[in-house]
Structure 1
């Protein structure tokens, strides 16, 4: 009041009226109230910042999978070679990539010499069979005479011995003929099983060497994926589990676990899992031996809590949700994400009855007040 009066100095002989003093008093009171209001702490309003809908985590059955890497290799690869030496290759009937059937002729060698050996063996067999017939007739006459005394014991023994020797010569001739026929069959290189030719080292006109490899065959066109897993992971894998394999070409091939290696590799400390692949269409088209691929091994199903993706807020590299508390306030809670499927995400760190903001989490902050609608 004194400050206000100083602004209006009273001159000598001048008297302030009562009304002026009243106005000055009102102004002073108003200024004091303004100063008091400005110095008082402000209170946060309780107006909702967002209208939200609440949901609870949903219990779902999730497929448990294990990720592994490995190589695609033939199930079995046969080495097709020749057992003969010194013969010239005169015919080639198969190339790399050809699908062949069991018994199909892949190559032929010059068999003129072997054909001559077969003919010679047949002639020798005919000769020994004729000698056997004569010996058997003589032996039969000796048997008819019996003990009449017309022949001595020495003559009888000689007749029976010739018969036995003739039979032995026949057996020997048959064996020689069979051997020549086997050699003749070896001049034809045939496929030992159905499959796909994966390699060919044979060249037309080359002279063979015993044991020389001519072709390599992927038996039945079957491929396998040899996945590497840790020893702890191998305990979760069982034969018969399904596998989904992503190929470098972008295609997907399914398979089935056939076997798990009984030992651990000393170098990698990993266990090999053998998976039979079932490519669609022609074999060795989608998947090829030597490919490196990543796959998912299905381990079974388990229950877990899940939320829609709209309820998850990714902030600073972490997953968060907003849960409802008293007075319609929300609290930011960090969760751990797991598997994802059909727009749902597996979450860990929430109770099944927790009320979670369904959408709009990006517009909220910790402690905000919301309006909840059903």
Structure 2
């Protein structure tokens, strides 16, 4: 009985001891937690080193390429068109003095011949009157010692003969001029924009023959706001211009120069208009011209060269808030620097004062920026923006190398 009682007491104790031993065994088999490397909690920012250098200011504008000279050719005499030049078609190029159209000259040639005949007759009558005047003077001297009258010396008849000669010469000049006007010639090197006659057409005096545009020089009217003129020396006159456009799917740049201002502010848009000129726009004078030709009617974007700043910094304008820009100072601390923005160009701020060479300008966002806070940057030797996973991979890679 006593043994049974001892078994009942010892059995639970043994079970408890075995359970405790099992728990201790399992606990000893569990791996201790791995220690992760400490990470730098200092805020990380991207920075760019500021560059101070010369900066060319540009004023942007836009316009359409036009011919400097545009001429409507008209007939100055009546007649049938008997001849047209092969190049006298829309889009054709013609040279100065080249015959474009010929009006039937036969009537005007006949008129010239008649005028020449009239001149010969008038000159003969003049010679005859001169001879008769000399005879009349000699006869008067033989008859009387009195002073003869002008009528007696045939001076009125002589003056009339002289007038007839002058009139005949004038008729010849008119006849020659009319004959010349039967030839419609190009007043300058040009491209034909329109032709209004055909062979056999009757041209009336004052009627249109065609239209041409001079190709030696092209012009572009460039509107510039009043405030932008302040950045152009001499109000832009004489400034160099880059004209950008797209031709056959490719970007092209043409050189031009501001030759003057229209001098009158436009009433509708209150803009000043500068006039830029392009030499030889159709590349007819320069073989193999670098950028090819630029046609009349082409829309261009213009960059007018303004002032050349000796020392300036250029940063993205959105980085400036309330006239200040965030930089990292020599102690790797955040500093808000006041800057003097001279001009904004295409989203970029041109700064003359406030930034020095190699200043670290912050170009990334900070959640809660506070002046003087410690920062790490992409230019530091050990950037602090590595994630914990990246740190762990670095440690494992070093262990593998060993």
Q: Which residue of 2 aligns with 1:213?
A: 208
User: What is the CA distance between 1:334 and its match in structure 2?
Assistant: 11
Alignment of 1:281 with 2:276, yes or no, is: no
Pair 1:125-2:127 in alignment: no
Structure 2 CA distance, aligned partners of 1:357 and 1:234? 31
Structure 2 CA distance for partners of 1:324 and 1:151, relative to 1, 3 Å: same
Q: Per-residue CA shift, 1:149-202, capped at 9, x if unaligned?
A: 179957962633322222221222222222222211111112223333332222
Number of the residue aligned with 2:217: 222
Alpha-carbon distance in structure 2 between the residues aligned to 1:130 and 1:151: 32
Unaligned runs of 5+ in 1: 1-43
For the Cα contact (< 8 Å) 1:196–1:221, is it kept in 2?
A: no
Report how many aligned residue pairs link the two structures.
316
Shift of 1:220: 4.8
Offset at 1:143?
A: 3.3
Residue number among 94, 97, 101 corresponding to 1:107 in the alignment: 101
Q: Kindly report which structure 2 residues correspond to 1:232-243, keeping only aligned pairs within 5 A, or say none.
A: 232-235=227-230, 236=232, 237-243=235-241
Residues 351/334 of structure 1: CA separation in 2 closer, same or farther (3 Å cut): closer
Look up the match of 1:76: 69
Distance 1:355 1:231 in 2: 35
TM-score, normalization by structure 1 = 0.70
Equivalent residue for 1:169?
164
Q: CA deviation at 1:98?
A: 3.5
- How far apart are residue 369 of structure 1 and its match? 4.2
1:259 Cα deviation from its structure 2 partner? 1.3
* Counterpart position of 1:203: 198
Deviation track 1:262-289 (CA, whole Å, cap 9, x = no partner) reads: 2222222222211111347228962222
Deviations 1:328-363 (A, max 9, x none): 4567989999669xxx995688532674279xx779
Verify the 8 A CA contact 2:95 2:186 in the aligned structure 1.
yes
2:242 match: 244
Are residues 1:258 and 2:259 paired? Answer: yes
Contact 1:313 1:320 in 2 (8 A): no
Paired with 1:177 and 1:351, the residues of 2 have a C-alpha distance of 81
Q: CA deviation at 1:102?
A: 3.1
CA distance in 2, matches of 1:246, 1:101: 29
SS at match of 2:142: coil
User: 1:10 is matched with which residue?
Assistant: none
Equivalence for 1:8: none
- How far residue 321 of structure 1 moved from its aligned partner, in angstroms, is 6.6
Partner residue, 1:179: 174
**What secondary structure sits across from 1:63 in the alignment?**
strand
Cα deviation for residue 109 of structure 1 reads: 0.5
Verify the 8 A CA contact 1:108 1:189 in the aligned structure 2: yes
Q: Please say if 1:351 is aligned against 2:386.
A: no
Q: Is the 8 A contact 2:236 2:274 kept in 1?
A: no
Q: Which residue of 2 aligns with 1:272?
A: 273
Preserved CA contact (<8 Å) 2:282 2:294: no
1:59 corresponds to? 52
Q: Is the 8 A contact 2:52 2:357 kept in 1?
A: no
- How far apart in 1 are the matches of 2:185 and 2:204? 17
Distance change in 2, residues 1:285/1:200 (3 Å): farther
Equivalent residue, structure 2, for 1:160: 155
Q: Which moved more, 1:349-358 or 1:216-225?
A: 349-358
Cα distance, 1:229 vs structure 2: 1.8
Please state if 1:323 is matched with 2:315: no
Deviation (angstroms), 1:148: 2.1
Q: In structure 2, what is the equivalent of residue 300 of structure 1?
A: 307
